[in-house]
Amino acid sequence: MIQPKNLNRRDFIKETVVAGALATAFHESSGLTASTPASTEGPIIVGRKVKVALIGCGNVSGSYFPTLVASPHIELVSTCDIIPDRAEQAAKKYGASRHFPHIDQLLAGPAFDLLVNLTDIQQHYQINRLALLASRHIWSEKPLGINYAEAKDLLEIAKAKGVQLLGSPTVVASPQFAFMAQTIRDGKLGRVTAAHASYGHTGPSWSSFFYDKNGGSLFDLGVYSITTLTGLLGPAKAVVAMTGIVTPTRNITGKGDVRVVAEDNAMLIMDHGDGVLSHIQSGFNYYTAREHSDTDPGHHTLSVVGTKGAIHLAGYDWGPHGVDLATRETGGRLERKATEAEGYQWQGGAVKMAEFLATGVRPRFTAPHAAHVAEIIAGAHQSQATGQRIAMTSTFAPMVL
């Protein structure tokens, strides 16, 4: 369940008034809004902007840079990419004073507080680790690392160094997630028993790492659904999965045909304890009417079922449009709820991290949750390799159930 101890209503109201945000009547009555922080602490960086460096100036950086440079809390200091031209172009376009071709040079360059890591999935751990050891705060794209051992190592280094570590996805910060969590907490679904989520498209064409060892649809796409469903139903106790490769070669821009090594088709079942089960499917061979776009307001991607009702998320959990709720009270009719974004943006995690450093307002996404999700995905791969049900060793403080 959403932990009441995490809600500091006075600080929350102060924050939202400052931000000019309006809470809806539903949220006012419940005390929970999309912008409700997990907690409010003292600021970590005082009296100046948070100095940010960004590594990995590829596809997703085009969504991140505008949010970073628009933030009043951020000064963009440096960019970095192993393709030097990308770092240079990004530095020019977004006003960073320096650009570098390697993490070592970036760390030795002008001082910065927060590293935003948008590199390939397989590079995250080593880059996060080097930057944490250099006492930098980290915002990492998903996953933190490719298994729990790597993610746990990062958590331990961050703690030892006294720096903050957070990572994508940000899905638990959306108002639609808050509504689903609140609906479950209020008992409107009765006893929650099962959930399902599906996320796929025809696969990225711009980089081969998605199809290389330790890439795959679960780390790129299923990771969102796993974060949402563990957020709503609680940590997984065990997982079973089957994965496959449907398309053995892919044509990648600038590279030609590459062999697909990672799964491009995955089915995962999570056991949340007390008989509660959820199922997630992800893949790089899915027809969807609007491809990877989040513009379809009717498309249900995630459902949670209980003994008295069901909720269906309209749109992807990273860009949701609303929640369709059916209960005995609605006579089984679907009613659309939580239709406002309330400032939520999937690419806004690094800005939320900088705000946290500058104001002490901790976002709702946490590193232990991200580490648990990494263990689930590694467990899915282990289950496929061994045919076994894989017990999870990690947990996190759940907001729901």
CB of 382 to ligand NAD, least distance (A): 21
CB of 401 to ligand NAD, least distance (A): 27
Overall size of the chain counted in residues: 401
- Comparison of 156 and 291: residue with beta carbon closer to ligand NAD: 291
CA 401 to CA 393: how far, in whole Å?
A: 19
Measured in whole angstroms, the distance separating CA 327 from the mean position of its chain's CA atoms is 29
Cross-strand pairs, 167: 140
| Antiparallel, parallel or unpaired: β 114-117 and 300-306 | unpaired
- Comparison of 26 and 94: residue with beta carbon closer to ligand NAD: 94
| Letter string b/e over residues 184-220, b meaning 16 or more CB atoms within 10 A of that residue's CB | bbeebbeebbbbbbbbbbebbeebbbbbbebbbbbbb
* Residue in the shown chain whose Cβ atom is closest to ligand NAD: 58
Interacting residues with ligand NAD (CB under 6 A): 55-60, 80-83, 86, 103, 118-121, 123, 141-142, 206-207, 220
Cβ atoms of residues 319 and 294 within 8 Å: yes
Category of 331 on φ-ψ map: left (φ > 0), alpha (ψ -120 to 50) or beta = left
Query: DSSP assignment, residue 143?
Result: P
Cross-strand pairs, 137: 114
- Comparison of 165 and 401: residue with beta carbon closer to ligand NAD: 165
CB of 82 to ligand NAD, least distance (A): 4
- Comparison of 105 and 393: residue with beta carbon closer to ligand NAD: 105
CB of 55 to ligand NAD, least distance (A): 5
- Comparison of 15 and 220: residue with beta carbon closer to ligand NAD: 220
Query: DSSP assignment, residue 113?
Result: S
Cross-strand pairs, 22: none
CB of 63 to ligand NAD, least distance (A): 7
Query: DSSP assignment, residue 119?
Result: S
CB of 120 to ligand NAD, least distance (A): 5
- Comparison of 116 and 305: residue with beta carbon closer to ligand NAD: 116
Cβ atoms of residues 175 and 33 within 8 Å: yes
- Comparison of 339 and 345: residue with beta carbon closer to ligand NAD: 345
CB of 69 to ligand NAD, least distance (A): 17
**Per DSSP, which regions of 146-191 are E strands?**
165-167
